[in-house]
Amino acid sequence: MVGSALVRRLAVEGCEILTRPRDLLDLQDVVATHRYLADVRPDAVLLAAAKVGGIGANAAQPATFLSHNLAIQHAVITGAFQAGVEKLLFLGSSCIYPKHATQPLREDALMAGPLEPTNEAYAIAKIAGIKLCQAYRSQYGTDYVSVMPCNLYGPCDTFDLETAHVLPALMRKAHEAKRNALDVLTVWGTGTPRREFLHVNDAADALVHVLKTYSEAQPINVGAGHDVTVSELAELICDVVGYAGRIIYDHTRPDGTARKLLSCDRLRALGWRPRIALRDGLDSTYQWFQEQYDDHAY
Ligand code: GFB
């Protein structure tokens, strides 16, 4: 999702974009990844590839989330260095911050307390990636930067009911509930956690802005600036989809962290602001989803 948004955004930048589909290059394969980077010798690397998923996938597969992400980061970051890449952008996630950190979450809250258990494995991998970028900067003076986005959504997201993030999962549930004339739509947890959602096109624009204007060891947050509760999101999605049934809450499913609103002072100081309002982003994402749905190609 993020990679394809970056390709769309970079198309207007007059640069040559090098991509490699997964069936041609497995980024967990350190030898193949090093060979590829040495071959193409890019000026900059944007590392958006990762094993990602929603709260269900993270909690069920901690070994996969930890090992795959460590492997991808290791192969790409060490390979970039060996290929002489000066500029690298590493993508983390707002879940790297401590579960009980002061809101909004500032970049200096990193490692100031225990993590949220449902995504600890993923967060540890991402923290290791930040530290690796900082270590290269400190030891070799390379300009490797880490960016921490909030929860992203948009075209090319995963809409699998068990493994997806909340926004695409609820969009698909509402769509199917409407289609099948179901009376109820089930939302996991209590509906009270708050989440901050940024459209992936805005995220890609912010990443390119950071690539051009930011060069520090500390990570930089990328967020929308405000959050909503899971129940507010569910109601908004039902409205966008046109589903008028009842929303019920499954308390056997985890809530995860109560809130993870990012402080974006640092990004705002660089002159960047989001453009896509949540309602508009949901409308266009639902349109995209419907176009894929009948082919089951999402
Ligand atoms: O988006 P999500 O899966 O992950 O869930 P996190 C956010 C909230 O939505 C939780 C609730 O409180 C869920 O209980 N929720 C309600 C649902 N209904 C659903 C549903 O049908 N599916 C899902 N998935 N959630 C992830 C991390 O955390 O966010 C990752 O696990 C990463 O590591 C990512 O950081 C951005 O926001 O809790």
CB-CB contact of 178 with 22 (8 Å): no
Per-residue pLDDT of 2-24, as tens digits, reads 999 999 999 999 999 999 999 99
Measure the CA–CA gap between 290 and 56, rounded to whole angstroms: 24
* Residue 102 CA to its chain's centroid (Å): 21
pLDDT value for 298? 47
In the numeric block, which tokens belong to residue 283?
A: 């409308």
Measure 246 CA to ligand 1 centroid, in angstroms: 21
Mapping DSSP onto H, E and C, the string for 202-242 reads HHHHHHHHHHHHCCCCCCEEECCCCCEEHHHHHHHHHHHHC
pLDDT value for 294? 76
Measure the CA–CA gap between 157 and 68, rounded to whole angstroms: 19
> Global pTM?
0.97
Ligand 1 within 6 A of CB of 195: yes
Measure 182 CA to ligand 1 centroid, in angstroms: 23
Measure 166 CA to ligand 1 centroid, in angstroms: 5
Ligand 1 within 6 A of CB of 66: no
Catalytic residue annotation? 122
Per-residue pLDDT of 121-131, as tens digits, reads 999 999 999 99
pLDDT value for 235? 98
Ligand 1 within 6 A of CB of 59: no
- 191 CB-side CA count, 13 A: 14
Measure the CA–CA gap between 221 and 107, rounded to whole angstroms: 7
In the numeric block, which tokens belong to residue 236?
A: 């908004």
Measure the CA–CA gap between 181 and 263, rounded to whole angstroms: 41
Positions in the chain whose pLDDT score sits under 50: 297-298
Q: Rounded to a whole number, what is the distance in angstroms from the first to the last CA of the chain?
A: 11
49-83 burial, b for 16+ CB within 10 Å, e for fewer? bbbbbbbbbbbebbeebbebbbbbbbbbbbbbbeb
Residue nearest to atom 23 of ligand 1 (CA): 166
